[in-house]
Structure 1
């Protein structure tokens, strides 16, 4: 990794703001202090970057958002929640989508140099750069990842709700299951969902890679799966878009849902409620995630709070007709299964 302004400050025994002033000549720096800074720069072979000096000076009035993609209802809802609060706080928002982009590190560094803090989704930013941003004391809030030293994190509860969903399906007597989701990564929300259903279903469920969380990828993965000799009796999908694709695949193949196949999703987007059949899913507070992230980042930027905070928001299993009903189940197509699941 390249030498950072933070390392120069440590070598010279000064603050990163002093390093910035010494290199830019933007403020009073004692001659002896300037000499120590320049010596550290030479010893470390440091090349000043826009990111480092901008963070040191901290002169911005905007927040940055880094998402892997901006398409789809999940990201739209999170962004709406974020921007509503940011607007109330008088902050502008600069959005970076990394989908299809090369030189992600350079793009993120450039954004970091132009904003006071950043919201980052999951593992969109490479871990070495995350570590550098933390060292530079960048104000950071992450959505959908485990707690991280030096940054706020927010996520929705996954495992308990996934386990409850699996138990509900097992209660219908289904014996062969598939989980449709993009490649699972450590500390990822989808991996948490997979762990939750596997803890209940064990070897009765297999994971199927969909590459992306889209209707198209869900359709392709489900169609290939359902053409097999031993097709699953129930498909648990990583999100509602993948599940909608699975419903389309079943329809193309002449399979009845839930008569021949149960299908479930995650998120509870509007399309899930109006699908035919209506989609059983797990409702997560997408807009609230964005709103809380904006408030958390503002607290870090303004100094209202200095210590990182890690929040987990409750989710809720919503039973609809795509998974079938027990005879005694209420005919209400939007029946909620019990109380919302609270974070442990």
Structure 2
């Protein structure tokens, strides 16, 4: 009996310490628990209400990155995608007289089409995802500069009012993030399309052998990622009102960190979409806490990178250590 309990305990610790999905939930609870001890005002109502919209933006963008990582890619076009979405939703009404609602649609749809283009180039022509998305990022940033002529535009009044609004005490941006996360989680884990995306991420040859249309599903994954970046950009633009042209550069590392902390392997496979959103909340609260104690932004980025490195190392070391402990506990045939 004790052997079975020991095995279950070992499995639990291995799962928690190896950076799986469960670990980020515990880490987030611990972070919120210790935040008031580190900085007394870090969990005040004003602080939380100010933090949640930025957590929402990161969560939605990170879900897009998760869809790409699930297919064994890494999307380096996040900065350009988000800047593109922001300049569309703010600039089209201000400079070209578009209705704000139509500008919102364009800011989501056009990044989705760019994502589809990324997917087509990667899947149909076999170009490395890093190369394609890096090149697309440069093209998008150039497009943003051309559209704006180097001058940021302000968000439409209606969008700004929505992004800064509340339902009770919950920010509208957080509600949008929850809706996007729930939809992504249900589609990713409860539908045939989600299962097929997982199967492709695990093994393309096996998925093809099962009759899955690999190119189609991978292309759609990149398109959905683009749509997620567009939604995140729309919310960010509405909340800050006049975003810097290239604000998306600050979201590249955090989206990757949220994916890894959430438990999605960089080698592809099962996408931990809901846990990715929790990781975004963790990273945003961590950044707010570090700002509260006086850390400048460069050191905050170093802290995010350190957390990411720690998780990657744990994932590599814990299984090895667990196997070594298991081998010591297992009696050899000569001593049995």
Larger RCO (CA within 8 A; separation ≥ 6): 2
What range describes the TM-score normalised by the shorter chain of this pair? Answer: under 0.3
Instruction: Return the TM-score normalized by structure 1.
Output: 0.24
When you count helix as a share of all residues, which structure comes out higher? 2
When you count strand as a share of all residues, which structure comes out higher? 1
Instruction: Return the TM-score normalized by structure 2.
Output: 0.25
Which of the pair has more CA radius of gyration? 1
